[in-house]
Amino acid sequence: MNRRASPGPARQSGRTCAMESLRSTGRKPGRKSKGDRKPTMVYLPREFAEQAAAIARRDNLPVTAIVTRAVALYLGEPAPIECEPQPLDDQTELPLTRAS
């Protein structure tokens, strides 16, 4: 069932709306794919999970990347590039000398 007021593509300010352009290109919105992966649920002892989370915070990565890196290390394989530690933003906190 077509719920649109007009049969043509949706227009917004003279341009095709974002959803129409996505349909025409076949691309999905969101982050870029990290390649062929299989979802795996892992139950870790609480202390391992907490330590993995601490490493993830330190390296600015998701815990999944830490687990992937550990498995790669165990298998003697190189870890994917997205599992390498990520630098934090170069922005630093400005000193606050007085409240406004």
pLDDT attached to residue 97: 74
Assess if residue 91 is contained within a domain: no
Q: Is residue 90 part of a domain?
A: no
Over the chain (100 residues), the average pLDDT of each successive run of 10 is 61 58 65 83 96 95 95 95 81 66
The structure's pTM equals: 0.56
**Residues of the domain holding 49:** 44-85
In degrees rounded to 5, what are phi and psi of residue 79? -75, 145
The answer to whether position 73 is within a domain reads yes
- Cα dihedral 67, 70, 71, 74 in deg (nearest 10): -160
Domain count, the chain: 1
What pLDDT, on the 0 to 100 scale, is given for residue 5? 66
The predicted pLDDT at position 18 comes to 58
